[in-house]
Structure 1
Amino acid sequence: MAQYFEVHPENPQPRLLKQAAALLAGGGVLAVPTDSSYALVCRLDDKGAVDRIRRLRQIDDKHHLTLICSDLSELSSYAHVDNRQYRLLKLATPGPYTFILDATKEVPRRVSHPQRKTIGLRVPTRKSLLMLLQLHGAPLLATTLIAPGEEDALNDPQDIREQFERQIDAIVDDGACPRESTTVLDLTPMATGGDPVVLRQGSGPLTALGL
């Protein structure tokens, strides 16, 4: 049975999020709010938890998982970023964008794209998620929480509780999330002088990035 942590959206309670962070450290899979929808998250280096997430979502190893980072200082450990890419990242973070970048060797092969060796990265603005990241002390591996057979992401923690409370370890509830997905940009062409490629137009405005 999943533990349920109801936290304040503007002033999340550290006591509750410390308990959530402890579950992550012990190999847990959690549902957490993001800038777009709720997501399933776990430790990057926990193979068992990653496999559980893939089974819950019914996705294979070709589905991009995303690293959620607390700020840009963490990105260089997990992705190759040149000056052009970094300037664009700085414009867009924190915010509702997901970036596809070439993964470093710090990213386990099982969580990067098997052919391209890329990884998705994002830096959120959601206060409870940022506090959880800080308490955890490292980025979290994530995927949008979409029930098998459905197309729309879940954004209501009570719906998540009804559907998943016996399959995950905890739910962090700070209220409903927006339903609009993040904007996804592939920045890998920039490494060879090309331009970023818009893979999905979502809630992150392209004009803010000069695109």
Structure 2
Amino acid sequence: MAKILKIYPENPQENLINEVVKTLENGGLIIYPSDTVYALGCDINNIKAMEKLAQIKKIRLDKAQFSIMCNDLSHLSAFTKPINTAVFRLLKNHVPGPFTFILEANKNLPLAYKGNKTIGIRVPDHPIPQLIVEKLGHPIASTSIKDDDEVIEYTTDPELIVEKYDHLVDIVIDSGYGDNLASTIVDVTSGEPEIIREGKGVL
């Protein structure tokens, strides 16, 4: 059964953030809030955790396109090819924020991402995931929680999230109601921004 931790953005308790980080380090899966919808996450360097994440999403890991959740742009050079000044300025002006930027991947991607030519980078404007990544020391893999409902695409109520994912994840962070608009996905691999999915973010 998942452990429910009530952590609010106004005053995130350090001991609870540390518990989340320890769970990630041990290969656990978490559900956490962001500046858009609630998301599923795990340590990008833990292949077993990544496989579990793919199983939950009912896809093969080698076909998965999980975003990398960062706390700032410092991780860019670790995972992506060099970008031009215009793209860097675009990113700098829009992160942290409700965007996923698709960039060309380099050869240093974690094992679970090997073979991917591109990578989605997220820097959410939300203290909880930022603190988690900061304390973990590297990004986490991330994917939005989708709803089976045809009308409501994303589950916003933490209690309903717990009901659905109770036996699938280790921790659910209850941070109150989430948003029901996902991030805007922007492909910048050509050097020019191309919006792939309209979401909460406006360029």
Same fold (TM over 0.5): yes
For 1:32 and 1:179, the matched residues in 2 are separated by 14
2:184 aligns to what?
183
- Identity score, percent: 34
State the match for 2:66 in structure 1. 65
Aligned length: 200
Deviations 1:138-169 (A, max 9, x none): 11111111256867122221111111111111
1:150-205 CA distances to partner (integer Å, 9 max, x unpaired)? 67122221111111111111111111111111110001001xxxx22110111111
1:123 maps to what in 2?
Answer: 123
C-alpha contact (below 8 Å) 1:38/1:177 kept by paired residues: yes
Task: Tell me how far apart the structure 2 counterparts of residues 172 and 131 of structure 1 sit (CA, whole Å).
Answer: 13
RMSD (Å) for aligned C-alpha atoms: 1.7
Partner SS for 1:141:
strand
* Farther-moved stretch of structure 1 (150-159 vs 12-21): 150-159
Counterpart residue type for residue 106 of structure 1 = N
Q: Is the 8 A contact 2:35 2:98 kept in 1?
A: yes
Query: Hey, what's the Cα distance between the residues in 1 that align with 2:121 and 2:163?
Result: 29
Does the 8 A contact of 1:78 with 1:103 survive in 2?
Answer: yes
CA 1:28–1:81 in 2, change beyond 3 Å: closer, same or farther? same
Cα deviations across residues 105-134 of structure 1 (Å, max 9, x unaligned)? Answer: 22135326x5x6111001011111111111
2:162 alignment counterpart: 161
State the match for 1:107 in structure 2. 109
Distance (whole Å) between structure 1 residues aligned to residue 23 and residue 112 of structure 2: 22
Relative to structure 2, which stretch is displaced further, 174-183 or 141-150? 141-150
Moved over 3 A (4+): 60-63, 147-151
1:67-123 residue CA offsets vs partner (Å, 9 max, x unmatched): 0100011211111232222111101100000000111222135326x5x61110010
One-letter amino acid of the structure 1 residue matched with residue 201 of structure 2: G
- The equivalent residue for 1:199 is 196
**Which residue of 1 is the match for residue 56 of structure 2?**
56
Partner secondary structure for residue 181 of structure 1: coil
- Structure 2 CA distance for aligned equivalents of residues 64 and 7 of structure 1: 28
Map 1:10-159 → 2, pairs under 5 A = 10-60=10-60, 61-82=62-83, 83-108=85-110, 110-111=112-113, 114=115, 117-147=117-147, 152-159=153-160
